[in-house]
Structures are given as structure tokens and as C-alpha cells.
Amino acid sequence: QVQVVESGGGFMQAGGSLRLSCAASGTFFRINDVGWYRQAPGKQREFVAFITRAGSTNYTDSVKGRFTISRDNAKNTVYLQMNSLKPEDTAVYYCNAVLGSGNFWGQGTQVTVSS
């Protein structure tokens, strides 16, 4: 059984920083690719950032230069460092982990940025 859990969300003023974590637990061989997605109220879930097991990364244009995705394979954890936060970054942030046994989503963590 595999569980993916996001943490680190919260309330922040514009210009501030937050670091989200995505941790996988349970029985699996290894985590392959991991993506962060977000869903704002009334909008569809959208891609934010992606990291392969080897460390290659990709970002949506709106967060380039502000967000950094990284991973610690020994801890089965992926991070999303979010700097220079903007009110439009307000959303529930979800982690999607690709494991050998399938594709797993976390429950999400709320990020709220005030102006």
C-alpha cells in the first residue's frame, strides 16, 4: 500500500516564501517522476513543476524563476520551494508520484497568498 502526503502549505503574504514537501510511504521499489500541480477555486487543476528521478526539471511559465523543485531520493521526498509568492499562486497544491506500481496523488495542501 502506498501513501503520498503533501505538507508545508499555509498562509503567506505576497513576496513571501513557502516550501512544500511530498513524501511517499509504504511498499514500493522507488519513486520515479514526480509532479506538482495546483487547483485554484473554480479552475481546473494545472501543472506547476516536474522532476525526473535523475533530477531533470520542468516548470510552467508562470512560476519559472520563483519556484524550485528538488528531491531527496533517500528520503522518498520531493520539495517545492516557492519564493516571491503572488496572490495568483493561491491554490490547493497536489503532488503526483509515479512509482513502479502506478501513479499516486496526495490529498493536497492549501497555499493562500494575500496581497
Q: pLDDT tens for residues 56-92?
A: 999 999 999 999 999 999 999 999 999 999 999 999 9
Phi, psi at 41, each rounded to 5°: -55, 130
pLDDT at site 82: 98
**Rounded distance, CA 84 to CA 14, Å?**
7
DSSP states of 16-73: --EEEEEEEEES-S-EEEEEEEEE-TTS--EEEEEE-TT--EEE-GGGTTTEEEEEEG
pLDDT confidence of 29, banded at 50, 70, 90? confident
Higher pLDDT, 23 or 100: 23
pLDDT at site 26: 84
